[in-house]
Amino acid sequence: MPETGMIQSTATDQLRALQFANLQSVIAHVFENNAHYHEAFAKSGITPGDIKNLSDIARLPFTTKADLRAHYPFGFFSVPMDQVRRIHASSGTTGKPTVVGYTEADLKVWASLVARSIQVAGGKPGMKVHVAYGYGLFTGGLGAHYGVEEAGCTVIPMSGGQTEKQVQMIMDFQPDIIMVTPSYMLTILDEFHKQGLDPRATSLKIGIFGAEPWTDAMRHEIESAFGIDAVDIYGLSEVMGPGVASESAIMKDGPTIWEDHFYPEIINPITGAVLPDGEIGELVFTSLTKQAMPVIRYRTRDLTCLLPGTLSGPLGAMRRMGRIRGRSDDMMIIRGVNVFPTQIEELLFRCPGLAPHFLIELTRPHRMDEMTIKVEARPDATDDASLLDGKTQLAALVKELIGVTARVDILMPGTLTRSVGKVQRIRDLRTLSP
């Protein structure tokens, strides 16, 4: 009997060999069929033949969102339009959306990877899955949808919004699994309370949450409120959509990247240098099997690290990613200190009486950045003294653990606008401040 370590290293070798073979074909494909890459490779003095092993990937130029936008709408496709079966788009905060396309084979791979994600989350054929990610140009709804079918489950294509109806469908259709953003799950939780229903008494067993950064503290909040297992699913439109990486319900130790289809790297966001596994930096992906719109070294702007695989069987050779701390776009620099909304989220769960509904307001009243955390009181926290404690404690924790001074405003329950999809945690009023 070979030792487990030996099996693992064989599986890793096989995975690396598969990745390299697919990398070579994808590079040849984009060099021939994508004007942007043809030019970008030529500029870097590289031809597909120069890529002789996986680490040569570091010689290839990066791709950014700006590159995709420059070819809006369909100029980044690497196949003729008549081979594109579906289009999605991600609406950035400003300007034109980023458009992505899929061939029939791409859609099959996508469905199979979402199905794999559902399986590692504990989903079994025959289960019912309530999909509350938005349907439409956003990849969340339809991406989840076809994966549910591929997993042999029954899909309930609810989409986002109509929160009252979400609750009714959960009560009446008795789903086993829900797929939704974590922030919208909290909105659904409010609705359960509003209707006087017990969220722990539903048929739900598993929640597959993603599309926005969230913390382990939020995981515990959702798990205990609904009595379910909550796992993390990661993805981005430019690379595929939901299901680029997903977390096992047994391990709950961060999403495993489906490395048979996507090659991950972590780079120093400033120098572009590749960082070793375990170090935090910007996540970069290269498509290994995409046809319609492969991306080479796509800079996600998501900050995380790569960790060793922990799944059993052949999937165990695939690495995990740490929880996303945030996107570089969401990083606030308060008097020289880098702060992410997830850091605030983590801390507010430690404070008595504070609800997980918060908004960070940035102002610049005296030419100095100031941060105000507006956070709601929990509906059951009516006692002024404990709320004052929560407020003082949050400000103290933020000062001690993040190193910035924040003002904390406690709001009445229900004051902040609720999310129906991706939540917006920052309101930047700095340009408006005198």
Q: Number of residues interacting with ligand DLL: please give it, by CB under 6 A.
A: 21
CB of 84 to ligand DLL, least distance (A): 18
Note whether 150 binds ligand DLL by CB under 6 A: no
Q: How many CB atoms lie within 10 A of CB 144?
A: 33
Using alpha carbons, select from 160, 177, 173, 169 the residue that is nearest to residue 119: 177
Of all residues in the shown chain, the one whose CB is closest to ligand DLL is 210
62/398 Cα distance (integer angstroms): 36
**Quick check: 211 binds ligand DLL (CB under 6 A)?**
yes
**133 touches ligand DLL by CB under 6 A:** yes
- Residue from 155, 233, 257, 332 that binds ligand DLL (CB under 6 A)? 233
- By CB under 6 A, which span of 60-68, 199-207, 231-239, 285-293 interacts with ligand DLL? 231-239
The residue type at 270: I
Among 77, 102, 234, 340, binds ligand DLL (CB under 6 A): 234
**3-state DSSP call for residue 158?**
coil
Stretch that binds ligand DLL, among 234-242, 290-298, 365-373, 403-411 (CB under 6 A): 234-242
Residue 248 found at the interface with ligand DLL (CB under 6 A): no
Q: What is the DSSP string of 217-241?
A: HHHHHHHHHHTSEEEEEEEETTTTE
Question: Which residues from 3-32 bind ligand DLL, rule CB under 6 A?
Answer: none
Report the residue count for the chain: 434
- What CA–CA distance (Å, rounded) separates 371 from 361? 6
* Distance (Å, whole) CA 41 – CA 56: 13
Can you tell me which of 237, 287, 291, 393 binds ligand DLL, judged by CB under 6 A? Answer: 237
Options 55-63, 149-157, 211-219, 368-376: segment touching ligand DLL (CB under 6 A): 211-219
| 341 near ligand DLL (CB under 6 A) | no
Among 59, 252, 327, 407, binds ligand DLL (CB under 6 A): 327
Smallest distance from ligand DLL to CB 324, Å: 4
Rounded CA gap, 302 and 312, in Å?
27
For 12, 204, 258, 269, 318, the CA distances from 308, given in Å and listed in that order, are: 11, 31, 13, 22, 7
What span, in angstroms and rounded, lies between the C-alpha atoms of 182 and 422? 8
Cα distance between residue 352 and residue 391, in whole Å: 9
- Tell whether the torsion through CA atoms of 401, 405, 406 and 408 is positive or negative: positive
Establish if 90 lies at the interface with ligand DLL (CB under 6 A). Answer: yes
User: Which CB sits closer to ligand DLL, 12 or 246?
Assistant: 246
Q: Which of 213, 294, 341, 421 binds ligand DLL (CB under 6 A)?
A: 213
Q: Does 140 bind ligand DLL (CB under 6 A)?
A: yes
Window 275-304: residues binding ligand DLL (CB under 6 A): 300, 302
Min separation Cβ 234 and ligand DLL, Å: 4
Cβ distance to ligand DLL smaller for residue 31 or 138: 138
84 binds ligand DLL (CB under 6 A): no
CA dihedral 21, 267, 247, 130 (to 10 degrees): -90
How many other CB atoms are there within 10 angstroms of residue 191's CB atom?
19
Q: Pick from 247, 298, 314: which is nearest to 60 by CA?
A: 298
CB half-sphere exposure, 357, CA atoms < 13 A: 22
User: Which CB, 98 or 393, lies closer to ligand DLL?
Assistant: 98
Considering the rule CB under 6 A, would residue 256 count as an interface residue with ligand DLL? no
Binding of residue 146 to ligand DLL (CB under 6 A) = no
Residue 317, token pair as written in the block: 């050779």
Comparing CB distances to ligand DLL, the nearer of 212 and 369 is 212
- Nearest approach in angstroms of CB 325 to ligand DLL is 9
Q: How far is the CB of 388 from ligand DLL (least distance, A)?
A: 33
Q: How many helices (H) and strands (E) does the chain have?
A: 10, 21
Please report whether residue 235 would count as binding ligand DLL according to CB under 6 A. yes
- Residues in touch with ligand DLL (CB under 6 A): 90, 133, 138-140, 210-213, 232-237, 241-242, 300, 302, 324, 327
